[in-house]
Amino acid sequence: MNNMRRLSLAFLFSLVSLGIYAQDDLMKMLDQDSSKVTNYTTATFKSTHVMNGQSIESMPPGQLDVRISHRFGTLNTGGYNFFGLDQSNIHLSLEYGIFKWLMVGVGRGSFEKTFDGFAKFSVFRQSTGVKEMPVSVSVFSSIALKTLKWTDPTITNYYSSRLSYVWQVLVARKFNQAFSFQLTPTYIHRNLVATELDPNDLYSIGAGGRLKLTKRISLNAEYYYMLNPKNNFSQQVYNPLTVGVDIETGGHVFQLFFTNSLGTIEQQFIGETTGQWKKGDIHFGFNISRVFTLKKHQAASVY
C-alpha cells in the first residue's frame, strides 16, 4: 500500500513538473511571437486637430470627417455683445482618408472669405515590437485662397496675390494612456502682404498636448511661437494660445476652447493673431467633428 502511495505521489509530482515546464515553454513561445509583431500606437489625439492646429491623427481610409468650427467675438466686448457670442466666424470643412498614409481636405471660412485645401502625409508611426519607433511623424501642406474684394480695384490686382501656403512637420509621442505631446515646426508663405514692412515668409514652432481626464474627456492646449521679429510687422501680432477640452460622444467629437486668435486655419492664426490674453481679447470657440464611413477599409491595404 505504501509503495502504491509513493508511486501515486511520484506520478503527481511528475505531472506538476511537466505542467510547470510546459507553461514556461508556452510563455517563451508567446514572448517570441510577440517580439515578431509590430504594435502601432493609436489615439495619440482624439481628433485630427489639437484645437486650432493640426494633430498627428489622420482619417482612416474610406472615412469622411465633416467639421464645423466657430470662433465668436472677444469676451471683453461685454454684455452688449453677449461677451462675444453676438459675433461669429464659421469654417466648414471635409476631411477624407484615401490611404493609411494620406488624408486630404477642403474647407471654406467666413473669416477673410477663405477657401483652403490640404494634404497630410503619415511618414512614421510610433510603435514597439519588431519595428521600434519612439515618435509619430507626419507632413502637412495646405493652400488658401482669400476672396475678399480688392481694397483698390483701380490698380492691377493679380489672382496669385490671394494665395498663401503652409508646410508643417508634425512630431508627436504618446507617453502613456493619459498624456500625449506634439511639436510642429511651421513655414508659411504669403504671396501678398499688407505693407512692405510685413514679411512674406513666416516661421513658427508649435507645441500641443493632451491630458486624458476620463474615458471620454481630455484637456488640450496648444501654443505657436512666432520666430519672426515682432517689429517686422505693420501691426502688433501675438503668439496664439488655445486651451480647452475634447468631449467624445460616440460618433461625434466636441472641442470647446478659449483662444486669442480669430482665425481657424494656419495662415490666419499664425502671423495674424492680434488679440492678447491679458487684455481679455479671448474668443470662445468650438469644433464639431462627425465621422461617416463611405468605404469599408480592406485588410489587404498596405500602410
* Residue 290 · residue 251 · CB < 8 Å: yes
* Residue 254 · residue 287 · CB < 8 Å: yes
The pLDDT mean for the chain works out to 88
Report the DSSP beta bridge partners of residue 288: 68, 254
Q: What pLDDT score does 4 carry?
A: 52
Segment 41-45 long-range contacts (CB within 8 Å, at least 24 positions apart): 41/125, 41/126, 41/127, 41/136, 41/174, 43/174, 44/126, 44/136, 44/172, 44/173, 44/174, 44/180, 44/182, 44/210, 45/172, 45/180, 45/182, 45/210, 45/220
Q: What average pLDDT does range 84-107 have in this prediction?
A: 95
Instruction: Check pLDDT > 50 for residue 46.
Output: yes
Q: What pLDDT score does 24 carry?
A: 56
What is the tens place of the pLDDT at every residue in 200-222?
A: 999 999 999 999 999 999 999 99
Q: What pLDDT score does 157 carry?
A: 87
Supply 116's cell numbers.
Answer: 483652403
Residue at grid coordinates 519672426: 228
Q: What pLDDT score does 140 carry?
A: 98
Instruction: Check pLDDT > 90 for residue 156.
Output: no
196 falls in which pLDDT band (50, 70, 90)? Answer: confident
Q: What average pLDDT does range 151-169 have in this prediction?
A: 91
Residue 214 backbone phi and psi in degrees, to 5 = -135, -175
Q: What pLDDT score does 207 carry?
A: 98
Instruction: Check pLDDT > 90 for residue 258.
Output: yes
Q: What pLDDT score does 80 carry?
A: 87
pTM score, two decimals?
Answer: 0.84
SS3 13: helix
User: Percentage of the chain surpassing pLDDT 70?
Assistant: 86
Q: What average pLDDT does range 181-197 have in this prediction?
A: 95
122 falls in which pLDDT band (50, 70, 90)? Answer: very high
**Topology given in CATH for the domain delimited by 39-293:** Porin (2.40.160)
Choose between 298 and 283: higher pLDDT: 283
